[in-house]
Amino acid sequence: MQNPYDDLLMEHIKNARNYRVLDGASASASGANALCGDGMTVYVRVEDGRIEDVAFQCECCGVSMASASIMTQAVLGVCVEEAKARVTSFVARVADKADTGRRDAYSPQGAVVATVRQYPIRSRCAVLPWLTLEAALDGSPETIYVR
């Protein structure tokens, strides 16, 4: 029997949500994983302090792709401060080795955390899109590097 995390992540890899260039983006940022070579750009359109649209493009592994797809769904329609709080929360979960992802076993974020627990080297892949989104929201002109 296959692990439900695998199914959820595979769905986001095969059918990534919001994988496109966002015309009319109010901000964008580029990020890279210095260890594996993953690279991505995250685009956001913010209106009245709320994320009205978010998209990404990448040359990356499946974990980064799924995490980016899940991230776009998690922040679409929320205010910028809430989106930043979600970034902080997700990055902290990935760093917390005691968090197995099982507390919310079938949630998209839980699925990513559970996968990273099985393959810890992939933690950088998981947080890359989230930190790139944060850089876009902060207006960072520099490429961010996850090391």
Residue extents of the structural domains in the chain:
4-140
pTM of the model: 0.90
Lowest mean pLDDT among 61-70, 93-102, 112-121: 93-102
Q: Does domain 4-140 have CATH number 3.90.1010.10?
A: yes
Classify residue 48 by burial, with Cβ atoms within 10 Å: 0-12, 13-18, 19+: exposed
The predicted structure's pLDDT at residue 1: 39
